[in-house]
Amino acid sequence: MSTTNKVTVFLPCRAGSQRVVKKNIKDFANIKGGLTRIKIEQLLNMKSLETLIVSTDDEEVKEIARSFKDSKVLIDDRPAHLASSSTSTDELINYVPQIINEGIVLWTHVTSPFIDAEDYDLFLSKYFEGLENGYDSLMTVNKIHKFLWNESGSVNYDRTLEKWPRTQTLPPLFEINSGAFIADIDIYLNMKDRIGKNPLMLEIDELKAFDIDWELNFKTAEFYWLNKF
| CATH (domain of 38) | 3.90.550.10
Reported as a single tens digit per residue, the pLDDT across 57-108 is 999 999 999 999 999 999 999 999 999 888 999 999 999 999 999 999 999 9
Q: For 160-175, what is each residue's pLDDT tens digit?
A: 999 999 998 999 899 9
* Residue 155 placed within a domain: no
The per-residue pLDDT for range 172-215, each reduced to its tens digit, is 899 999 999 999 999 999 999 999 999 999 999 999 999 999 99
Instruction: Give Cα separations from 4 to 101, 123, 144, 184, 193 (angstroms).
Output: 11, 18, 36, 9, 19
Is 146 part of any domain?
no
pTM for the model stands at 0.94
| 53 found inside a domain | yes
CA dist 131 to 54, 113, 157, Å?
27, 27, 32
In a domain, 153, yes or no: no
Containing structural domain, residue 25: 7-141+176-228
Residue 148 falls inside a structural domain: no
pLDDT tier at 114, thresholds 50, 70, 90: very high
pLDDT at residue 229, rounded to an integer? 55
Residue 218 lies in a domain: yes
Number of domains observed in the structure of the chain: 1
Q: Which residues pair with 28 in a beta bridge?
A: 31
- CA distances 151 to 41, 129, 148, Å, are 44, 40, 10
- The verdict on residue 76 lying in a domain is yes
Residue 214 lies in a domain: yes
Per-residue burial over 163-196, b = 16 or more CB atoms within 10 Å of its CB, e = otherwise = eebeeeebeeeeeebbbbbbbbbbbbeeeebbbb
